[in-house]
Structure formats: structure tokens, C-alpha cells
Amino acid sequence: KQEVTQIPAALSVPEGENLVLNCSFTDSAIYNLQWFRQDPGKGLTSLLLIQSSQREQTSGRLNASLDKSSGRSTLYIAASQPGDSATYLCAVTDSWGKLQFGAGTQVVVTP
Amino acid sequence: EAQVTQNPRYLITVTGKKLTVTCSQNMNHEYMSWYRQDPGLGLRQIYYSMNVEVTDKGDVPEGYKVSRKEKRNFPLILESPSPNQTSLYFCASSLSGDSYNEQFFGPGTRLTVL
């Protein structure tokens, strides 16, 4: 059974620092990996989708890498801002076609 | 605007009183699904639908029903809600059931069953 883990569970950084969020998964047979952002009381916003054949994806200040063989993905957010405060979730589409989520990393960026 | 909408956003009800949470998408997506999110358990899939009239159980289907009569709508039905169904519910859709597609989520419905 696929298990997705995100460490740390919570992270606090001063504004301007780069954020590094980690996601690991136990079964490397995945179709893709998706990073989401969730604000309190709101839905999930898709940030980046990395197909299993790709090594990374970039969008603005966000960059996500994927190392399928080692079961790891990292989301980098450059020059963090208070507006980046949210919970970040990673999810893999497993070999059964199901989306399996990690528990999330709660990020606070202090001014 | 391309989006997934859910109604109601908040609902407080009592044990045993049937309720329906609606979900609608305007992106002509074939694949739709329902998740619940609970502290410490993360997001878990309840039901999914590959296309109209095709639905199947996810990881936690007990106590829920769904129907897919039209492509755009995928309501979640709780015939006899119980307190353990108190949760945050999300509807999601993607272009197709092909595993390579990005999934889009609705804003969530916070349900409390007393």
C-alpha cells in the first residue's frame, strides 16, 4: 500500500528565506506527483504537477523536483512571503490510478 | 471561470437526517471524485466516477452514496448521517480518468453531525 509522508509537519521561517518542503512515498510505481496549497477553510489549489517521466517542474518562485527511484519530491519556494503561509500537500497517483495524499506541512512565514 | 463548486459550504445536521452535498464542474471533465479530510488521517477518497453512469467505491465508501446522471454533477448523499461522518468534504474533477491528468478541487463542505 502506498504511503506518503511529509516532513516536517510544521515550519516557520522569516520572510525572504527560501522554503524547502519534503515529500516521500513508499512505492515508486507512480504516474505523477502533485503539490497542492490549502488555506484555512478553503479548498486545495494545485501548484505543480510532475509526471513520472519528469525530474522537475517550475512555476514562478516554485520549483518541484521528483526522484522516483528514491521515492522523494521536494518543493522549493524562493524568497518566501507572508502570503505563502498555508498548508502544503503532496499527492501521488499510484499504480491503481488513485490519488494518495500526505498529511501536509503547515507553513508560517513571519514578516 | 473554470471551477468546481460545492453546496452547501457549511452544514450542521442531526443523526439520521438524510442530506445531499452537491458538486458541479464547468470544465467538461469526465472524472469526478469525493474526498473527506480528517485531522491526522489526511484526505481519503470516498467514491469516484470515471464518466456518466459509472461510479465506484474509494477507500472509505461506507455510509455514502453517489450518482452521476449528468457529466457536470456528482452529488454525495448521506442517507442516515452519523457523528463519525463529521468532516471536511471535497469534490474534485479531472479531464479524464487517465492517471496523468491534474485534479481540480472544490472549496470544501464542512459537515457537522450532532
Tens of pLDDT, residue by residue over A60-75, are 999 999 999 999 999 9
Whether the pLDDT of residue B17 is over 70: the answer is yes
At B52-79, the pLDDT tens digits run: 988 999 999 999 999 999 999 999 999 9
- Compute the average pLDDT of residues A101-105: 94
Q: Inform me whether the C-beta atom of residue A29 falls under 8 Å from chain B C-beta atoms.
A: no
Whether residue A103 and residue B104 make contact (CB cut-off 8 A), yes or no, is no
Whether residue B99 and residue A101 make contact (CB cut-off 8 A), yes or no, is no
C-alpha dist (Å) from residue B113 to A25, B14, B19, B41, B84: 34, 5, 11, 19, 8
Q: Residue A90 and residue A87: Cα distance in Å, rounded?
A: 10
Q: Residue B37 and residue B103: Cα distance in Å, rounded?
A: 16
Whether residue A91 and residue B40 make contact (CB cut-off 8 A), yes or no, is no
Q: What is the chain B residue with the closest CA to A43?
A: B107
User: Which pLDDT score is estimated for B98?
Assistant: 66
Q: What is the chain B residue with the closest CA to A44?
A: B105
The shortest C-alpha distance from B24 to chain A (Å) reads 14
- Compute the average pLDDT of residues B8-27: 97
* SS3 state at A82: helix
8 A C-beta contact, residue A44 and residue A97: no
Q: What is the chain B residue with the closest CA to A34?
A: B102
